[in-house]
Structure 1
């Protein structure tokens, strides 16, 4: 601790003592109420410090993230609070978040995600059609130069860009079938190659 830090510490201790003395003098008729308020604020302060210290654990519980085990060729995707499994793939050097959809036959990108990875969604030929829960939508077939999930890199992956409104890109079976094992167990989806 430098002499400058030590001087600042002494200043803060004196300032704190003066403030405490002033509060006690102002509220000398109702000291029990003053101590109750001080205890409440102290607990709020301690609770805030504890929440900041435990934020990593809290975030993992509220929004769990995928785990990649490169040495064993395994990826674990935790079930999100909404019951779905989400995964972030790196497509053409850009991270894209997908909802894993075993009911979808292909990889389907939103127009926004297609734009982020360098595809001009407006200039694509939407000549194919896909059936969704909301009815048929037009799609444009595309080829993704590079798709990476942890240590797994795939080149020239076929996909579609959805012309309609879609909240999240879908990771369907044409990509999932590249894995030797797909298992859902204990709140996790496990993918292995």
Structure 2
């Protein structure tokens, strides 16, 4: 048999004959009822004529042995019947991999909660330091009022100032240790997010590869005839496609993929080798140097003014060391939001440089970049970023 013509819908006489011949070649002949028309009484023929026109094909049902042979052909092709559809055997392995993702994501959610708790501790310590620094200023005012007038009050206030400053020193040490712990947890969290995303990407590759194989398999003449048998006996769609077979697992994976965000953001390179990106600070665009060596996002005083960044009177004073070794003063503030591409971070620590630093460029430092898994590729002039949504 050089070729077999396949008819869709209910099998025609030709499709029935082709299937019978094909299965006979494989050693399984159709039932006698399929080899020749049955001997029907005139009354039976008359009744059928009333119910069935010449344009309506007769429904053919194959014998159990023919169906068994069709099932064997499908199994050898990596397919099996489930109800009125077909399932790819390899999809079970993909389904197990997606089930394993549930555990990975649960671990991510727990670690994110732990990380957020440590960040909360850092914020509490910062609030305590700020309160103690305000108290120090108030005590110094009191000391100035009683200086030279009341020795007892003077000594009492001095003692309070010393105790308060000792407290501030202890809090700063505690903040340093807590921040280090937060940095370690952030690094671990970013690494696990990358592992999770890589697992999702691998599952997508496996599913796409399986879809390609299935599409080719369904074009095999033997498989086509086996599907026709299943269509007649089990109502499996005669024109079933790879997309139909993988629909359930595709929908499940698509939902998982919605939680994974990755983007390669183009960078501009200047003659001095600096890499620039257009970011959004408090929902306003600004061109910044991407610098993973900078601890904080930094803004010039002029840029902060243009972006309408408010600098509290009690903002902590910082001493920053520039790339050329120069030291410069800055004030630490919190930015409502910083976004690059689709990656947004809230409440980002920022250093606003003193007004004399007019030649400095705004920098996108680790107080933003550290919130995500990222990679800077100077050769490709790109910033690759990744995050996994861990909200409940």
Q: Any idea what the Cα deviations from partners look like across 1:85-130, whole Å, max 9, x if unmatched?
A: 0011111121111111232211110011100111256957462211
Q: Distance in 2 between matches of 1:122 and 1:180?
A: 31
Residue in 2 that maps onto 1:19: none
Q: Distance in 2 between matches of 1:188 and 1:162?
A: 27
Q: Which moved more, 1:133-142 or 1:106-115?
A: 133-142
Residue in 2 that maps onto 1:192: 385
Look up the SS of the partner of 2:274 in the other structure.
coil
Structure 1 residue aligned with 2:307, among 99, 117, 130? 117
Q: Distance in 1 between matches of 2:295 and 2:301?
A: 18
Residue in 2 that maps onto 1:129: 319
What are the residue-to-residue correspondences of 1:1-193 with 2, within 5 Å?
72-120=262-310, 125=315, 127-132=317-322, 133-163=324-354, 164-165=356-357, 166-193=359-386
Look up the SS of the partner of 1:113 in the other structure.
helix
- Normalising to structure 1: TM-score of the pair? 0.56
Look up the SS of the partner of 1:105 in the other structure.
coil
Look up the SS of the partner of 2:371 in the other structure.
coil
Larger % of helix: which? 2
Larger % of strand: which? 1
Instruction: State the structure with more CA Rg.
Output: 2
Q: Any idea what the Cα deviations from partners look like across 1:33-89, whole Å, max 9, x if unmatched?
A: xxxxxxxxxxxxxxxxxxxxxxxxxxxxxxxxxxxxxx7433231433432100111
Q: Distance in 2 between matches of 1:94 and 1:80?
A: 23
Contact 2:345 2:371 in 1 (8 A): no
Contact 2:266 2:277 in 1 (8 A): no
- Normalising to structure 2: TM-score of the pair? 0.29
Look up the SS of the partner of 2:303 in the other structure.
helix
Contact 1:79 1:187 in 2 (8 A): no
Look up the SS of the partner of 1:73 in the other structure.
strand
Superposed CA RMSD in Å reads 2.5
Contact 1:108 1:172 in 2 (8 A): yes
Structure 1 stretches lacking a partner, 5+ long: 1-70
Find runs of 4+ consecutive structure 1 residues off by over 3 angstroms.
120-126
Task: Give how far 1:188 is off.
Answer: 1.2
Q: Check 1:97–1:124 CA distance in 2 against 1; reply closer, same or farther (3 A cut).
A: farther
Q: Check 1:74–1:100 CA distance in 2 against 1; reply closer, same or farther (3 A cut).
A: same
Task: Give how far 1:186 is off.
Answer: 2.6
Greater relative CO, 1 or 2 (CA 8 Å, sep 6+): 1
Task: Give how far 1:178 is off.
Answer: 2.2
Contact 1:115 1:121 in 2 (8 A): no
Q: Distance in 2 between matches of 1:72 and 1:135?
A: 37
Structure 2 stretches lacking a partner, 5+ long: 1-260, 387-392
Q: Check 1:121–1:181 CA distance in 2 against 1; reply closer, same or farther (3 A cut).
A: closer
